[in-house]
A and B are shown apart, each in its own frame.
Chain A
Amino acid sequence: MQTKVENLYKIIDLDIHNGTYNNFVILDKDSHCEFSFGGLLRLPRGLTSLCSGQPWLVYWNLNSLNIMKMPIPEEVSSQVIALLSECICPYTGAFCGGPSQDPHLAPTYASVAALISLNSAKGYSIINRKGIHDFIVSMKHKTVPGAFTMHTDGESDMRSVYCAICVASVLNILDDAVTKDVSYHIANCQNYDGGFSAEPNGESHGGYTFCAVASLIMLEKASLVDCERALEWCLMRQMDIEGGFNGRPNKLVDSCYTFWIGAAIVMLKDVLNIPKEVQICSSEALQAYVMVACQSPMGLFDKPGSSPDYYHTAYSLGGLSFFQEPKMFKESILDLADIDPLVNALKKNVEDARKYFIELGPI
């Protein structure tokens, strides 16, 4: 993989360490918008396996369009709301992976994040806060204090913690019944190397580390863990030759970690009061990896040799939005929107959503 990426850099004589190049590369936002927009309208057969996570597809594509500052037409917006309404579980009020499926924390997060991406009162009005609150509480793990299962008898890991805490935080339903023991459980999942794992004593992983850090910050409990060690583990994920992040030591580079690791770095930098102007990882190298090595004619992919998908498009662009300056290619304008690293949706929309649900008062 290292050689593959190096060869791509050689084509334009790019030296990511010296910042020199012969030809520049642009982020082809028009094509990526077309790709993401198409993914809202109709989905190819190859995505059959995602029939149990349909709100994710909606959310990824809306978020990609938002990041690229592409307006979402009114008809699409109301169609998305209609689709998500039919994914609501009639018994609990939480969201399911699709109609007539079981309620599940991950599509609940994805649906709420999709509605935040639309940022309309009409969209927010389909959210059943009391139902979602009670569902989250009912997902609390029976034997592991502070953990959550994704669905009844489902798996329990750091993703389920994040989905529960993030949804509850934005919807203003983060009460003691939800938060009990959660921060201690997260702290138990920090490992000797500073990263976080799915469950206590597992292997540290970029995705789980994002989930842990974001949840702790929303719980205002970041002081329970060693943030400096966590940050150093994240920073070590940036690869010397490829310039992108990997998700675990000695694993391959992958563009989706531009968001998972990138957002964790942004959040931890803030917690540790590192001044904004200090550049603690190389933005230029991240841009080089995403733009030179991960762009297809339509959409982005994880690493050279793969085909584009909606997930990697959303997460590589989302990550890139944190690292737009300084530029690798002086000639290329990125102009990506600001993203809230805790929720992974437009910063402005997250602020509006929080205000909206605070005004609704307690449930």
Chain B
Amino acid sequence: MTSEISMAQQSEWSDVIPKPEYSQKVKIGKINYLPQFEEMMKYFRSVHDNKEYSERALNLTTNLLKACPGFYTGWHYRAELLDILKKNLDEELVFLSSLSLRNHKNYQIWNYRRELIKKIGSCEGEIDFLNIVLDIDCKNIHVWGYRQWLITTFNLWDQEYEYVAKLLDEDPYNNSAWSQRYFLESHSQFYKTSEFEKKNLEFVLEHCKNIDNECPYNYLKVYYCQELKERIMQGLVDIAKDKGFSRFLLQNLGFLYEKDAKGEMCDIVYKKLAKIDFMRKGYWNWKVRRTVRKNIQRTDNDIWVCRALRDNEEYYNPIYNYYKYSAPQ
């Protein structure tokens, strides 16, 4: 809305017949637009219907997209206009960035950015820009999607580790950062080595000491392979001895026992969950007696888990999502 004068009075637009949104037949469901916005849209429909590729059409999209950044037709038309009018794409990136900071929760803006960067062919300054946007909202799912695309397209894997480590350091409860960590691990050439995996598992187990944090407990599931199962079990038991049980910890114990076909141990864990995890009690009860009992041999850790779950007070604090384990006398 750069001009105070209505478009109908501007000679530049005198050859265009503005097109109303709906015909006379439609009487309901209309949005009460600001008159200036409605007028711009009328001219937009006209030039867009006529496939007019002109400077004035480009300017019109600039004004419309500022007012309504989710207007996907405007973005697509604009991309065509830039192509045909051979516009400077670096300037376009500046325009886009200025809109993005105010409207970062938007599908269109981040998709348009992908298309634009593809054409520019360089990712210079992009990561810095994304860091600014993620500072505003570090869980913005559109930004993370774009960031993953950028990393994959321009091979930016190496520098990302540090960034994710920093985010998890600032907030270990940030699930987006955990998810990004997996994205890196699963693409890394080092990932396949068992040395690397072991080191990462220790990192995750360290974070599991926050027993109310679902994220590292979900992440443990990445490592449920044969060689690492023992270590996970030991890690969980050590944490439980120190901090008590949370529903996330118990869920993982149940999962490990399922993998080992230790049906009796599963039942003990799921019965406990059914008692303490109010929201999901019906589900945990359904899980009882569903695991086959192939392996009945109990390790020392299993025996400890049995006693701890049997003897312990059933006080569960839903605010903290866990109950304290106090060693039996």
Which of A47, A76, A102, A239 lies at the interface centre, i.e. has the most chain B CB atoms within 10 A of its CB? Answer: A102
CB closest residue in chain A, given B214: A249
Q: Do the beta carbons of B280 and A238 come within 8 Å of each other?
A: yes
Tell me the dominant secondary structure on chain A's binding face: loop
Say yes or no for A330: interface residue by CB 8 A criterion. no
With A155-B111, A235-B283, A249-B215: A192-B30 Cβ-Cβ less than 8 Å = no
Tell me the dominant secondary structure on chain B's binding face: helix
- Chain A residues within 8 Å of B187, by CB: 201
CB closest residue in chain B, given A6: B319
Q: Do the beta carbons of B110 and A45 come within 8 Å of each other?
A: no
Query: Interface segment, A50-58, A128-136, A161-169, A338-346?
Result: A50-58
CB closest residue in chain B, given A274: B286
Q: Do the beta carbons of B174 and A250 come within 8 Å of each other?
A: yes
- How distant is B208 from chain A, measured CB to nearest CB, in Å? 14
Alpha-carbon gap, A251 to B318, bound state (A):
16
Q: Do the beta carbons of B176 and A278 come within 8 Å of each other?
A: no
Q: Do the beta carbons of B179 and A203 come within 8 Å of each other?
A: yes
- Chain A residues within 8 Å of B37, by CB: 48
- Chain B residues within 8 Å of A50, by CB: 31, 70
With A79-B29, A250-B214, A281-B280: A102-B76 Cβ-Cβ less than 8 Å = yes
- How distant is A232 from chain B, measured CB to nearest CB, in Å? 7
Say yes or no for B49: interface residue by CB 8 A criterion. yes
1/0 per residue, CB under 8 A from A, across B210-234: the answer is 0001110011011000000000000
Chain A residues engaging chain B, CB cutoff 8 angstroms: 2, 17, 40-45, 47-54, 57-58, 76, 79-80, 82-83, 86, 96-102, 104, 150-155, 157, 191-194, 197-199, 201-205, 229, 231-233, 235-236, 238-241, 243, 248-251, 274, 278-282, 285
- Chain A residues within 8 Å of B214, by CB: 236, 249-250
- Chain B residues within 8 Å of A279, by CB: 282
With A249-B215, A251-B175, A282-B278: A154-B29 Cβ-Cβ less than 8 Å = no
Query: Interface segment, B1-9, B140-148, B237-245, B306-314?
Result: B140-148
CB closest residue in chain A, given B213: A250
Q: Do the beta carbons of B71 and A45 come within 8 Å of each other?
A: no
**What are 10 A-B contacts with C-beta separation under 8 Å?**
A44-B31, A51-B68, A54-B29, A79-B26, A155-B108, A201-B187, A203-B176, A236-B214, A249-B215, A249-B218
- How distant is A266 from chain B, measured CB to nearest CB, in Å? 13
Q: Do the beta carbons of B32 and A248 come within 8 Å of each other?
A: no
- How distant is B238 from chain A, measured CB to nearest CB, in Å? 23
Say yes or no for B315: interface residue by CB 8 A criterion. no
Which of A47, A239, A249 lies at the interface centre, i.e. has the most chain B CB atoms within 10 A of its CB? Answer: A249
Alpha-carbon gap, A235 to B49, bound state (A):
48
Say yes or no for B28: interface residue by CB 8 A criterion. yes
Q: Do the beta carbons of A82 and B26 come within 8 Å of each other?
A: yes
Alpha-carbon gap, A43 to B321, bound state (A):
43
Say yes or no for B21: interface residue by CB 8 A criterion. yes
Q: Do the beta carbons of B28 and A47 come within 8 Å of each other?
A: no
- How distant is B159 from chain A, measured CB to nearest CB, in Å? 18
Say yes or no for B107: interface residue by CB 8 A criterion. yes
- Chain B residues within 8 Å of A192, by CB: 182, 218-219, 221-222
Residue in contact with A248 in the complex, picked from B72, B108, B139, CB distance below 8 Å: B139
Q: Do the beta carbons of A100 and B48 come within 8 Å of each other?
A: yes
Residue in contact with A42 in the complex, picked from B22, B32, B34, B141, CB distance below 8 Å: B32
Residue in contact with B145 in the complex, picked from A99, A101, A198, CB distance below 8 Å: A198
Say yes or no for B188: interface residue by CB 8 A criterion. no
- Chain B residues within 8 Å of A193, by CB: 218-219, 221
- Chain B residues within 8 Å of A285, by CB: 278-279
CB closest residue in chain A, given B139: A251
- Chain B residues within 8 Å of A194, by CB: 218, 221
- Chain A residues within 8 Å of B67, by CB: 48
Alpha-carbon gap, A251 to B28, bound state (A):
38
With A240-B318, A250-B214: A43-B176 Cβ-Cβ less than 8 Å = no
Alpha-carbon gap, A280 to B159, bound state (A):
43
Q: Do the beta carbons of A49 and B70 come within 8 Å of each other?
A: yes
Say yes or no for B45: interface residue by CB 8 A criterion. yes
With A43-B29, A151-B72: A98-B283 Cβ-Cβ less than 8 Å = no
1/0 per residue, CB under 8 A from A, across B288-329: the answer is 000000000000000000000000000000110100000000
- How distant is A52 from chain B, measured CB to nearest CB, in Å? 5
- How distant is A291 from chain B, measured CB to nearest CB, in Å? 17
1/0 per residue, CB under 8 A from A, across B147-188: the answer is 010000000000000000000000001111001101100110
Q: A17-B318, A250-B214 are in contact. List 9 more A-B contacts (CB 8 A).
A: A50-B31, A51-B41, A54-B29, A193-B218, A199-B148, A201-B183, A232-B283, A248-B176, A278-B283
Which of A99, A155, A232 lies at the interface centre, i.e. has the most chain B CB atoms within 10 A of its CB? Answer: A155
Say yes or no for B206: interface residue by CB 8 A criterion. no
- How distant is B263 from chain A, measured CB to nearest CB, in Å? 16
Alpha-carbon gap, A44 to B318, bound state (A):
41
